[in-house]
Amino acid sequence: MSNFPETELILSKDNRVYHINLKDEDIADNVIVVGDQSRVAQISNFFSKIEFKTQHREFITHTGIFNGKRVTVLSTGIGTDNIDIVMNELDAAVNINLVTRELNPTHRSLNIVRLGTSGALQADIPVNGIVVSSHGLGLDGLLNFYDNWESIGEKNISEEFIKHTGWLPNLPYPYCVKASDQLIAKFQQGTHIGITATAPGFYGPQGRQIRLKAAMPNLNELLTDFRLGDHRITNFEMETSALYGLGKLLNHNCLTACVIIANRVRKEFTSDYAKSVEILIEESLQRLTV
């Protein structure tokens, strides 16, 4: 496509990508994404200088300097639907000329690290520990809407997962995508590494039951018991699969690191995770800017 029409690429009056309100020069090569809007300022407090701030809806962005390197932190809100917006618009901002609407001749690749909170699915992963996602296992179905996603999928993991769980035929195909090897190498020391299952909701899709019964009430146990060689499913959250899938299709490096606020196996919940989140933020900034 030589020119992206207004219906496909929506821009503001000053030629910024619509939802995230950004253009190329606003965005550093190193990007941290967070679900919680309040966490943007918590992270940018570590910057020696903040160069740029903007907000549109739930999407808040601060770009500044940490360890002499430029870093952008952006809030996404919850869920893979919001990640769909953020990933497509970040890529558009850095790889499309927003005046002419033409693809730039040179591709710009971003390092995109999601920092979040999560629930552990293995008894040996402690509350307040950090999990780095080697893969995103998408129970959400989002990547199935994109052409050629199979070329980046880890089909062997998906197929073994379907067999192991007796995956219901009316549920979306559970796609699986690997993290960036480059970023894994920076983040793996001192963390727990495994497959992160990404759910399209917080209650039934994660096996929780209040008044409504879950279609797969034993889902958590099936996830905990899954093994394929050295692979196991370590945790549940709501964004990673879309981040990894869209990132790989668009040629960006992506990684998720989460602090564990609950152990679903041991039924433990952290009493105060604020300090653990602070440690996650500071260590991640250091590792990302090495």
**Alpha carbon distances (Å) from 243 to 33, 39, 65, 90, 251:** 10, 18, 24, 12, 12
**Burial of 48 from C-beta contacts in 10 A (0-12 / 13-18 / 19+):** exposed
Q: How remote is the C-alpha of 118 from its chain's centroid?
A: 12
What is the reported pLDDT for 279?
A: 87
Query: Nearest-CA neighbor of 254 among 152, 155, 169, 164?
Result: 152
Give 43-97 pLDDT, tens digit per residue: 999 999 999 999 999 999 999 999 999 999 999 999 999 999 999 999 999 999 9
- Angle among Cα 43, 48, 51 to the nearest 5 degrees reads 80
Give 232-241 pLDDT, tens digit per residue: 999 989 999 9
Is the pLDDT at 140 greater than 70, yes or no? yes
Q: Which two tokens stand for residue 213?
A: 């019964």
Residue 283: pLDDT band (50, 70, 90) is very high
Task: Kindly report the pTM of this predicted structure.
Answer: 0.95
Q: How many CA atoms lie within 13 A of 244 on its CB side?
A: 31
Q: E-assigned strands of the chain?
A: 30-34, 49-56, 59-66, 69-75, 96-97, 102-103, 111-120, 130-138, 175-178, 192-198, 227-228, 231-237, 253-263, 268-269
Give 6-31 pLDDT, tens digit per residue: 999 999 999 999 999 999 999 999 99
Is the pLDDT at 2 greater than 70, yes or no? no
Q: Are 113 and 183 in contact (CB under 8 A)?
A: yes
Query: Nearest-CA neighbor of 178 among 243, 222, 261?
Result: 243
What is the reported pLDDT for 1?
A: 47
Q: Which CATH class is domain 24-288?
A: alpha beta
Is the pLDDT at 155 greater than 80, yes or no? yes
Residue 271: pLDDT band (50, 70, 90) is confident
